[in-house]
Amino acid sequence: MISLKNLSKVYFKGKRNENLVLDQINLDIAPGELMAITGKSGAGKTTLLHMVAGLDRPSSGHIFYDQLDLTTLKEHELANFRASHVGIILQNFALLLNESVESNVTLPLLFQKGRKKKAMSVEEVLNICQIPGFEKRKVKELSGGEMQRVAIARALIARPDILIADEPTGSLDSVTSMSILELLKSLHDSGMTILMVTHDEEIASLCQRIIHIRDGKLMTGLPSES
């Protein structure tokens, strides 16, 4: 279970442009849940995701993974935690375009000192992501949908406990978006916990649970207006 307790994030604290992006948020994410986070641009979706992923720290409050409070970890402990527990798909893929699919997908394994879990093989993870045989292809020669599958493969290879995806269908057409959502749903069906940010309400409505961020607070369900 992942629990956010009274989590707040303030940028430029004490300055004239102080920006309270997240205000005392509480949220529980159960194992195996498929959750969508929505909200308009600038609402704090990426900020929230980065804190759950351990990429950024809250201004106050706590992030528990079972009994472990991420906010008590030192930087290198947090990096080790991420490497073995969190699969991250950043907004706009963040792939190395001039490298092969295989180099991109195996990148997280470079940060796996002394890990206990056995990573998936590249072949296995490309099969799961429905891009079999793509090992030697250059990323820059792939379509947007294929690039997104590479980003998902990279996030999965180290067998994380949770997959965190920032707008995984953001720059894709609606048919390709649906096929990526189908992939995420099949991962969910096999037991993966997935936290996904999307501004696409149709995509969100197909998830098990929807959380909407507005004025720094969380609301359940789709907004009546946004």
Q: Footprint of ligand ATP on this chain (CB under 6 A)? A: 11, 19, 21, 39, 41-47, 199
Least distance between Mg ion and beta carbon 208 (Å):
21
Structure tokens at 123: 């072949």
Least distance between Mg ion and beta carbon 159 (Å):
26
- Of the candidates 63, 34, 33, which has an alpha carbon nearest to the alpha carbon of residue 48? 63
Dihedral sign for Cα atoms in the order 170, 109, 190, 3 = negative
User: Cβ closer to ligand ATP: 39 or 160?
Assistant: 39
17 binds, among ligand ATP, Mg ion, none (CB under 5 to 8 A by kind): none
Cα separation, 60 vs 165, whole angstroms: 23
Least distance between Mg ion and beta carbon 45 (Å):
5
Q: Which residue matches tokens 């894709």?
A: 172
Measured from each CB, the residue nearest to Mg ion is: 46
Q: What is the CA radius of gyration of the chain?
A: 17
User: Cβ closer to ligand ATP: 15 or 116?
Assistant: 15
CA atoms within 13 A on the CB side of 164: 23
DSSP 95-146: --TTSBHHHHHHGGGGG-TT--SPPPPHHHHHHHTT-TT-TTSBGGGS-HHH
- Per-residue binding string, Mg ion, 168-207, x by CB under 5 A, is ----------------------------------------
- Of the candidates 107, 129, 105, which has an alpha carbon nearest to the alpha carbon of residue 179? 129
21 binds, among Mg ion, ligand ATP, none (CB under 5 to 8 A by kind): ligand ATP
Question: Site for Mg ion (CB under 5 A): which residue of 7, 43, 44, 46?
Answer: 46
Least distance between Mg ion and beta carbon 15 (Å):
22
User: Cβ closer to Mg ion: 91 or 127?
Assistant: 91
26 binds, among ligand ATP, Mg ion, none (CB under 5 to 8 A by kind): none
199 binds, among Mg ion, ligand ATP, none (CB under 5 to 8 A by kind): ligand ATP
Residues 6+ apart with CB under 8 A from 173: none
Question: In 3-state terms, what secondary structure has residue 214?
Answer: strand
User: Cβ closer to Mg ion: 48 or 125?
Assistant: 48
Least distance between ligand ATP and beta carbon 171 (Å):
12
Give me the residues that bind Mg ion (CB under 5 A), please: 46
